[in-house]
């Protein structure tokens, strides 16, 4: 493999790792948001 191909593969790997990390962080944020909404809805019913 030439150096250019290796560099391209490394860039794809870095991009993928960053995308997965961001995806995981967004899932956690969304989960926390939905828990707050659920809590607020339940407290409003009392």
Of 14, 30, 9, the residue nearest 38 (C-alpha): 30
Structure tokens at 46: 């009392």
pLDDT (0 to 100) of residue 37: 96
The pLDDT tens digits of the residues spanning 5-45 come to: 999 999 999 999 999 999 999 999 999 999 999 999 999 86
Residue carrying structure tokens 């956690």: 28
pLDDT (0 to 100) of residue 44: 86
DSSP state of 45: T
pLDDT (0 to 100) of residue 26: 98
| Domain ranges for the chain | 3-44
Whether the pTM exceeds 0.75: the reply is no
């Amino acid at each position: 493999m030439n150096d250019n191909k290796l560099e391209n593969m490394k860039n794809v790997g870095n991009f993928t790792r960053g995308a997965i990390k961001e995806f995981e962080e967004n899932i956690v944020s969304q989960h926390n948001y939905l828990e707050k909404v659920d809590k607020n809805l339940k407290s409003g019913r009392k």
